[in-house]
Chains A and B, each alone.
Chain A
């Protein structure tokens, strides 16, 4: 039995967790990157936006200058000139800003340079317009020319600004497009990764909860078995102790204290008191075997007496084992059994066994006496009677003749009794040699044994096909002889006896009486006769030794024949039953295991 479950899942759990952590790390790095990208993109947008603004500012400054110029030229009021004057500064500031903004982009710088040239040209054109609009130097044609040139320049500047704006916008668009592409892929990916991680974690959770469940179950079992252990110790009258050889700490189980006749933890067990409870007779032997455990690592059962605190003597059976754990510390484990009850029972049993053996021996010698010594004188009585010549008998008085006859009858009866008794005891004592035999053959032998009486009564005996079984042939033959003989003996005087012997194979389950048998298939052999039968209330008792249903004057017999049959079927692990209808006939049924 495995005491502890092996948690194989811990490794897979570890793998699942590592994978999940990696996925999460990956996910967060992905997020970080996206953030960075977003940041960069917004910077680009800002950049574009700024350039856009600066360019607009530039334009508006130029427009301001243009408006101012126009106002001045029309009004000649120098107040209109101030936006113009400021616009130059504004243009310059914007330009410097733009230059800084486009530092990373040579195309825009080139455009900016071109723009600046155009702006300078425009301002030159402003100056020229001023010059030719000044009443001092007024020249209408030149003024018109410059005004018109300014107009064209303005167109070019706008164009240039638009161009630059376009470039920036395109750049922004491209940038956004790339960002969009990146961004559009990542949600699916990261969600699936996230789901995967979630799945792993769920799996891990499931595994963990399963493990916990199992742990709980095992914990419960452990709890139960430890309770059970302590219960069974007290029920089974045994106890355990542990002795840590390194720390010299000794632990007794609760029942150990109880077995010693004290309450649990009534004292602290120490080495010195360890043998205190052992009966003085056994102390030496136990001390020796304690040492033996250390050298031999384990101990065969030892039997000894214990003298309890209440002076009661108990009989113990103990064994021990030296356990060495991985750290190399040695622990002596001991188990004690209180076998006092068994011991006393054993003693009693032993005594009875001795008695039984003695009476068996007596029985055996009685058997011998019966078989030989008792038979000898009887045989001689009979033989001597048979030697009295008929002629001499004729000369005797009638009463003498009668006495002699009675002696003869009694001797004969005693002979039958002895023979039957012998047969009965022999069915038990002789060696039981099972031989595969044809029961039909044995039945024939039985018939030929009874030939005289069969002929005399002109009995009809039919035997159907019987099985071949492993039996003690003499005994089964005897069984047939006894049963057939019984039927012949108790036949009805006015009827020709008929005996039908039949056999069939049966399952023991169909016969409640056979249920206690291990064998399942039986051969059922029935002996059915048309004799005088018997009262069915005696169907059990007729198999009991010396049970007779008829007086011995009516039907001579010893009451042993059917008891022999029972014994024979018992010897074959079989069964015999009887049933009868008085004046109709009886049926004896023998069950023999296959």
Chain B
């Protein structure tokens, strides 16, 4: 006899995955097709173990090489921003040399993964550093602008305002009041 079985590959896979993951004592939730979320973060061994358990059934954990690269880009940017004599570096050149990829490639990967540009991230980090210098080192805007290689205080101010929506002085005032408020 011939039977026509209507099956939903999605359900099967989901059920199978569920079984396998429960075997491993992993709690998870399904986010959509081919995507699950584990309630805990696995270390590399755990991840390798899971990979080897699923591999015989044709399941493959797509390890995102790009995520790794993005992390590397971020680390490099942070390194660059926190370098005190970064005057000589153009960020694109610095990143390309450091990560051994063309800047265009790095830029594409970064945007693809984070939905934001490298430039924005650099600005974000610089403003973050400016905040720190302002609050921890109690430096003036002029000093900060000089240290972070801004052409003028106005430039720093504008970028600060564009990034955070508030002016540096308002930021300072709010944080100060917030700290007093906590006491």
Give me the interface of A with B, judged by CB distance under 8 Å: 435, 437-438, 440-441, 444-445, 447-448, 451, 473
Contacts and interface: CB of A to CB of B under 8 A. Distances in A.
B88 interface: no
A440 B154 CA distance: 9
26 contacts: A435-B173, A437-B169, A438-B169, A440-B154, A441-B141, A441-B153, A441-B157, A441-B167, A441-B168, A444-B153, A444-B154, A444-B157, A444-B158, A445-B157, A445-B161, A445-B167, A447-B154, A447-B158, A448-B157, A448-B158, A448-B161, A448-B162, A451-B158, A473-B167, A473-B169, A473-B170
Nearest to B158: A448
Contacts of B157: 441, 444-445, 448
10 closest Cβ pairs, A-B complex: A448-B158, A444-B154, A444-B157, A445-B167, A448-B161, A445-B161, A441-B157, A444-B158, A441-B169, A448-B162
A435 B154 CA distance: 20
Contacts of A441: 141, 153, 157, 167-169
Given A448-B157, A448-B158, 7 more contacts: A435-B173, A441-B157, A441-B167, A441-B169, A444-B158, A447-B154, A473-B170
A464 to B, nearest CB: 13
A402 B173 CA distance: 48
Interface in B119-162: 141, 153-154, 157-158, 161-162
Nearest to A449: B161
A435 B173 CA distance: 10
Contacts of B168: 441
A451 B161 CA distance: 12
Contacts of A445: 157, 161, 167
A444 B158 CA distance: 7
Contacts of B153: 441, 444
A465 to B, nearest CB: 12
Contacts of B169: 437-438, 441, 473
Interface residues of B, number: 12
B136 to A, nearest CB: 21
A437 B167 CA distance: 12
Contacts of A451: 158
A451 B153 CA distance: 17
Interface string B165-183: 0011110010000000000
Query: By CB atoms of chain B within 10 A, which of A438, A440, A441, A473 has the most?
Result: A441
Nearest to B168: A441
A438 B169 CA distance: 10
Contacts of B162: 448
Nearest to A445: B167
Contacts of B154: 440, 444, 447
Contacts of B167: 441, 445, 473
A447 B157 CA distance: 11
A435 B162 CA distance: 22
Contacts of A448: 157-158, 161-162
Query: By CB atoms of chain B within 10 A, which of A438, A448, A451 has the most?
Result: A448
Contacts of B141: 441
A281 to B, nearest CB: 55
Nearest to A435: B173
Contacts of A473: 167, 169-170
Query: By CB atoms of chain A within 10 A, which of B161, B168, B169, B170 has the most?
Result: B169
A435 B157 CA distance: 18
Nearest to A440: B154
Nearest to B173: A435
Nearest to B162: A448
Contacts of B161: 445, 448
Query: By CB atoms of chain B within 10 A, which of A435, A438, A440, A445 has the most?
Result: A445
A428 to B, nearest CB: 21
A206 B5 CA distance: 143
A407 B169 CA distance: 40
Nearest to A443: B154
A478 to B, nearest CB: 13
Nearest to B152: A444
Nearest to B157: A444
B175 to A, nearest CB: 15
A398 B112 CA distance: 40
A441 B170 CA distance: 11
A447 B158 CA distance: 9
A435 B169 CA distance: 10
A441 B167 CA distance: 9
Contacts of A444: 153-154, 157-158
